[in-house]
Amino acid sequence: MKPSQGRRSTLARLATGAAFAGGIPGVISRALAKGDLANKQGIQRIEGEVLVAGRKAAPGTPIALDDRIETGNNSSAVAVVGQDAFLLRANTAIVVKGERGLLSQLLVESGRVLSVFAKKPVAVKASIASIGIRGTGAYLEVLPAEVYFCLCYGEAQVDGANMAPKIVKTTHHEQPLLLTQANGTLQAQPGPFRNHTDAELVMLESLVGREPPFMRDGQYPAGKY
Predicted local confidence at residue 216, as pLDDT: 76
Beta-bridged to residue 131, according to DSSP, are 124, 158
pLDDT higher than threshold 60 for residue 19: no
Positive or negative: CA dihedral 203, 120, 170, 96: negative
pLDDT tens-digit series, residues 126-170: 999 999 999 999 999 999 999 999 999 999 999 999 999 999 999
Predicted local confidence at residue 123, as pLDDT: 98
Helix, coil or strand: residue 135 = coil
**Cβ–Cβ under 8 Å, residues 206 and 87:** no
Predicted local confidence at residue 168, as pLDDT: 97
C-alpha to C-alpha distance for 53 and 46, rounded to whole angstroms: 15
Tell whether 164 is covered by a domain.
yes
Band of pLDDT at residue 219, cut at 50, 70 and 90: confident
Tell whether 158 is covered by a domain.
yes
Band of pLDDT at residue 9, cut at 50, 70 and 90: very low
Q: How many helices (H) and strands (E) does the chain have?
A: 3, 15
Q: Domain range holding 107?
A: 46-196
* Section 4-8 average pLDDT: 49
Band of pLDDT at residue 124, cut at 50, 70 and 90: very high
CATH of the domain at 158: 2.60.120.1440
Tell whether 60 is covered by a domain.
yes
* Section 196-223 average pLDDT: 87
Tell whether 13 is covered by a domain.
no
Predicted local confidence at residue 215, as pLDDT: 87
Domain count, the chain: 1
Tell whether 109 is covered by a domain.
yes
> Nearest Cα to 204, choosing from 30, 24, 21, 73?
24
Tell whether 131 is covered by a domain.
yes
pLDDT higher than threshold 80 for residue 6: no
C-alpha to C-alpha distance for 190 and 182, rounded to whole angstroms: 16
* 93-99 vs 84-88, strand pairing mode: unpaired
7 or 174, which is more confident? 174
The mean of the pLDDT values for the chain is 86
Predicted local confidence at residue 221, as pLDDT: 76
Tell whether 30 is covered by a domain.
no
Predicted local confidence at residue 143, as pLDDT: 95
Tell whether 19 is covered by a domain.
no
